[in-house]
């Protein structure tokens, strides 16, 4: 029913397209780009979204023939930077590269001054990297089954850390507890680095984070991976079962990166940007960094595939936020 409602809402919004498109100057598609192109990252420098934006920028600059400026506009769970793009002119000069928290924003921050589906147009789903659960090697857990058994034996005693309230990692663990019939205390951290440090030190029983965040510690042997939440096993974690293989069908969670434009950006401009992104991310250096450093499964989708994916993500995670009354940090 939620999907039907969202599809109906999306169809109703199509009537607003001519008004939004009219804001773009006539002939904009033919002359684009006509100056520096701005890519807004709604998070601080140093995170994975910033890294992806800066990775793709040289390839875009080469193909579009204009400077590419990456602008970090962090704050309010990504809503500040996202709002900048949602309210920008739809002329192809401003774009958004964002992260999986994009899909949680409407439920977590219900007073947003913009609408994700009305004010932003999809451009490309770049790819995704699975979330994983890991612990210090001297902890008594070696699999998801061990975690569930321990949590059943000691309700409210086996703890996990995440990168914050309402993050996909936190919501994934809520779904796991719901499905397994267990209760686990949650310790939200302000950054992935802080959460990883406490997991390595053993101050929290386990930590959920993207595979990219956890992989350096896993490779160093200071964290032991217990389960991964992707649709299939990562090459770097071939010995680690997925949640589905561990008895939880449909329990998937991936960090993902997507590109959006202000609503009404002319379709030819969106198509050209999509093609430039695909070519830039298909270069060997960029592809290797995405698959090895970010542990990403590259998708490089068309706009419509990103629209469908976002609808599904919003429906899944909004339900968890509402039913469990999750509030932003």
pLDDT tens per residue across span 160-179: 999 999 999 999 999 999 99
* Residues 216, 134 share a domain: yes
* Residues 213, 111 share a domain: no
Mean pLDDT, residues 29-41: 91
Supply 284's token pair.
């060997």
Reported confidence tier of residue 28, pLDDT bands at 50, 70, 90: low
Give the pLDDT confidence score for residue 18 in this predicted structure. 37
Query: Is 298 part of any domain?
Result: yes
The span from the CA of 94 to the CA of 273, in Å, is 11
Mean pLDDT, residues 312-326: 95
Residue-averaged pLDDT of the chain:
90
* Residues 144, 116 share a domain: no
Reported confidence tier of residue 22, pLDDT bands at 50, 70, 90: very low
Residues of the chain above pLDDT 70, percent:
91
Give the pLDDT confidence score for residue 192 in this predicted structure. 87
Supply 167's token pair.
């993050």
Query: Is 122 part of any domain?
Result: yes
* Residues 261, 123 share a domain: yes
Give the pLDDT confidence score for residue 325 in this predicted structure. 93
* Residues 264, 221 share a domain: no
* Residues 124, 32 share a domain: yes
Query: Is 250 part of any domain?
Result: no
Reported confidence tier of residue 21, pLDDT bands at 50, 70, 90: very low
* Residues 65, 115 share a domain: yes
* Residues 72, 26 share a domain: yes
Query: Is 245 part of any domain?
Result: no
pTM: 0.87
Mean pLDDT, residues 2-28: 38
* Residues 167, 116 share a domain: no
Query: Is 65 part of any domain?
Result: yes
Answer yes or no: is pLDDT of 2 > 90: no
Query: Is 82 part of any domain?
Result: yes
Answer yes or no: is pLDDT of 27 > 70: no
Answer yes or no: is pLDDT of 68 > 90: yes
Query: Is 243 part of any domain?
Result: no
Give the pLDDT confidence score for residue 42 in this predicted structure. 96
Query: Is 248 part of any domain?
Result: no
* Residues 77, 52 share a domain: yes
- CA quadruple 34, 32, 18, 20: dihedral sign: negative
CATH of residue 174: 3.40.190.10
Structural domains of the chain, count: 2
Of 237, 265, 294, the last residue of a domain is 237
CATH of residue 19: 3.40.190.150
3-state secondary structure of 138: coil
Answer yes or no: is pLDDT of 129 > 50: yes
Given the structure tokens 């039907």, which residue do they identify?
4
Answer yes or no: is pLDDT of 1 > 70: no
Of 237, 263, 291, the last residue of a domain is 237
Domain region containing 197: 130-237
Mean pLDDT, residues 124-134: 97
* Residues 159, 12 share a domain: no
* Residues 137, 119 share a domain: no
Mean pLDDT, residues 252-272: 97
In the chain the beta strands, taken as DSSP E runs, fall at 37-41, 68-72, 94-98, 120-135, 160-162, 186-188, 206-210, 224-228, 254-262, 297-298
Mean pLDDT, residues 17-46: 72
């Amino acid at each position: 029913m939620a999907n039907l409602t969202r599809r109906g809402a999306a169809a109703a919004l199509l009537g607003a397209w001519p008004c939004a498109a009219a804001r773009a100057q006539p002939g904009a598609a033919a002359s684009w780009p006509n100056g520096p192109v701005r890519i807004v990252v709604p998070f601080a420098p140093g995170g994975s979204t910033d890294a992806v934006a800066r990775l793709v920028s040289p390839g875009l600059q080469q193909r579009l023939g204009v400077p590419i400026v990456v602008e970090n506009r962090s704050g309010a769970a990504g809503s500040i930077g996202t709002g900048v793009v949602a309210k920008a002119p739809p002329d192809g000069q401003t774009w958004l590269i964002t992260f999986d928290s994009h899909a949680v924003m409407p439920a977590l921050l219900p007073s947003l001054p913009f609408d994700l589906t009305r004010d932003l147009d999809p451009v490309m789903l770049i790819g995704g990297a699975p979330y994983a659960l890991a612990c210090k090697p001297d902890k008594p857990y070696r699999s998801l089954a061990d975690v569930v058994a321990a949590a059943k034996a000691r309700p409210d005693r086996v703890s996990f850390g995440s990168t914050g309230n309402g993050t996909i990692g936190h919501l994934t663990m809520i779904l796991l507890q719901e499905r397994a019939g267990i209760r686990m205390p949650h310790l939200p951290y302000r950054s992935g680095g802080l959460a990883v440090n406490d997991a390595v030190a053993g101050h929290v029983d386990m930590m959920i984070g993207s595979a990219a965040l956890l992989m350096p510690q896993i490779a160093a042997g200071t964290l032991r991976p217990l389960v991964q939440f992707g649709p299939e096993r990562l090459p770097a974690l071939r010995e680690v079962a997925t949640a589905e293989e561990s008895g939880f069908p449909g329990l998937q969670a991936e960090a993902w990166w997507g590109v959006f434009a202000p609503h009404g950006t002319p379709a030819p401009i969106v198509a050209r940007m999509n093609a430039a992104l695909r070519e830039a991310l298909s270069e060997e250096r960029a592809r290797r960094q995405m698959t090895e450093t970010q542990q990403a499964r590259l998708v490089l989708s068309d706009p419509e595939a990103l629209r469908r994916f976002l609808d599904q993500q919003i429906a899944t995670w909004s339900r968890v936020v509402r039913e469990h009354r999750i509030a932003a940090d």
